[in-house]
Structure 1
Amino acid sequence: MLKSLKDDWYKDDGAGRTKFVSNGLKYVPLDMKPADLQFLETQKFDTTQIARLLGIPASIMLAAVDGSNLTYSNIEQSWIEFADYTLAAYTGEIEELFDRLLPRGRYARFDWDSSRRADMSDRYAAYKSALDAQWITTNEVRAREGLPPLVAAPEPQKEAIEQ
């Protein structure tokens, strides 16, 4: 019985043929109604508008932008721009408030370098270049990597010569 219904359903009688089901079976369409599609399109539009209003890249809000081709490089660049142009404005205000609360001579700053960490080989190549140009020290590199400074080896003590 089920096999004959299936065969009737898939029988190729040309385009536009009306299909029907019987014997207690129910037809459930797999497509969406135009109103549902329009609602989804509106939601996508709202998300991208909110992203633009707040200065947040649409990719961060997981909203697809028509005509865009997202790659790892594009997403990474959008995160950097988000940090530079959106978050920096908010964090600047927070830093100023902390500066007022801290004792004189102390200040608070957000560490943006940690959010931009390149992969290990790129970081090490940049550190080597900076060390070779002598505009950064080994201990400064270690601090950026969250490592303690190197302690210089103690100089050997000269024995006092009695005269």
Structure 2
Amino acid sequence: MIGRALKGAWAGMRMALAEGQSGFENVDLDALRAGGGFKSHAGQPVTATTAMSISAAWSCVKSNSQLVGSLPLALYEKDRNGKRVKIEDPLAEILTVSPNSDQTAFEFWESQEAQKLLHGNSYAEKLFIGDRLVGLRPLLDTTPVRNADGRFVYRFRDRGKMYTLPASKVFHMRGFGGGDGLGLSAIKHGVQSFGSALAADQTAGTMFKNGMVASGVLKSGQVLDEKQRGQLEKLLDRYTSSAKAGKIMTLEAGLEYQPLQINPEDAQLLETRRFQVEDVCRWFGTPPVVIGHAGQGQTMWGSGVEAIMLAWLTLGINPQLRRNEARIAKDLIPPGKRGRWYVEWNREAMLQMDSKSKGEFLSKMISNGIISRDEGRDKLNMARRGGAADELMAQTAHAPIDDLGGI
């Protein structure tokens, strides 16, 4: 039913959209320029597409956005006693099951987070039937513009045409940002880092293509004329590039091959590429170990890595979740429900322990009466037993003598 409603709402929305509205005198030129790319000092144009061709950038964006998309999300209501109650409502279905006719909730939040990480902002069109919100449709190629009254309007391109939507019909999530109501783009502000990484990748690729250059030189005891040099260049072409590695070259006329150790410039290139992995990680707030890169002298295992992962979840992922929750409360919760309804991502799902630690943790929680045995079984994805297993219990190590008969 929601699928049909979304299609009907989208068809009606298309008829209501108007092209060429005025009030775009203060166009965000940086946002428009991002479509064609920012020029780096290294000579490489940097766009979201070119930046994602860097393996470190791809892994950072993927790791962050997949984690946010995979966390359980629920809609709650506070009762008069301050307790929270999970509620079932069409809004909850939009946020947690099916935001639109094409995407699951995982795919929607994953894609929104990826856009926010790269561009600093992500956009989705609010689909309505009357005054009722029935879906969220991602918007790409979108430019926010402030009108003369200070409010945002959003211009976006869809199937070759430009459309305009008011702020009331756009769910706009901001990343880390400035004071102008927009998140800051990692692509724009990190253009030099990404451009250098792209240039280093290109240089490394050229080195591998022309493998003969870095491997050694040919020496001759005589001076070669122009014709002989041309013949030698054609000969060398048969053996250069990584695809021809391992072929045996026959040398004559006094030619001698002398292998070379890697020169300082090439050694510096390798060190530069290693540094750029860590540099790209800084822009996305992702520890290198998360994307499979260990620093000098660092292992990929142990308590140190566990502490790094906890720091990432606390300082990196949790602020993103809080930002998203606040934006949902401001823009998607019905006005009459604000202050009582709220959404929350389950942070506990980020914390995974080994079997020994998890067993000790659950044992202490159950023994101290903090959770029931059935709630502990829930955390192990086991079926509930019901009855006394759903009661809070506690072990008693010390008790008054007069109470022993009742225990």
TM-score by length of structure 2 reads 0.29
* TM-aligned CA deviation for residue 86 of structure 1: 0.8
Residue in structure 1 matched with residue 229 of structure 2 by the alignment: none
* TM-aligned CA deviation for residue 35 of structure 1: 1.9
Q: Among 300, 307, 322, which residue is 1:77 paired with?
A: 307
Residue in structure 2 matched with residue 32 of structure 1 by the alignment: 262
Root mean square deviation, CA, Å: 3.2
Determine the C-alpha separation between the residues in 2 that align with 1:28 and 1:75: 45
Deviations 1:39-92 (A, max 9, x none): 121122222223234332122233342343543322222111111111111111
The structure with the largest strand share of the pair is 2
Determine the C-alpha separation between the residues in 2 that align with 1:148 and 1:42: 53
Which amino acid is 1:24 matched to?
T
> Which ranges in structure 1 are unaligned for 5 or more consecutive residues?
1-19, 154-163
Which amino acid is 1:151 matched to?
G
* Identical-residue share of aligned pairs (%): 20
Residue in structure 1 matched with residue 272 of structure 2 by the alignment: 42
Residue in structure 1 matched with residue 374 of structure 2 by the alignment: 139
Residue in structure 2 matched with residue 126 of structure 1 by the alignment: 361
Judge conservation of contact 1:51–1:58 (CA < 8 Å) in 2: yes
Residue in structure 1 matched with residue 286 of structure 2 by the alignment: 56
* TM-aligned CA deviation for residue 121 of structure 1: 2.7
> Which ranges in structure 2 are unaligned for 5 or more consecutive residues?
1-218, 220-248, 389-407
Deviations 1:17-47 (A, max 9, x none): xxx8xx8158584743322221121122222
Number of aligned positions between the proteins:
134
Judge conservation of contact 2:374–2:385 (CA < 8 Å) in 1: yes
* Equivalent residues in 2 for 1:96-135, closer than 5 Å: 96-100=326-330, 101-102=332-333, 104=337, 105-135=340-370
* TM-aligned CA deviation for residue 102 of structure 1: 4.4
Determine the C-alpha separation between the residues in 2 that align with 1:70 and 1:123: 21
Determine the C-alpha separation between the residues in 1 that align with 2:302 and 2:380: 24
Residue in structure 1 matched with residue 325 of structure 2 by the alignment: 95
Determine the C-alpha separation between the residues in 2 that align with 1:28 and 1:70: 39
Which amino acid is 1:59 matched to?
V
Deviations 1:72-119 (A, max 9, x none): 322222111111111111111112233342463443322232232212
Residue in structure 1 matched with residue 118 of structure 2 by the alignment: none
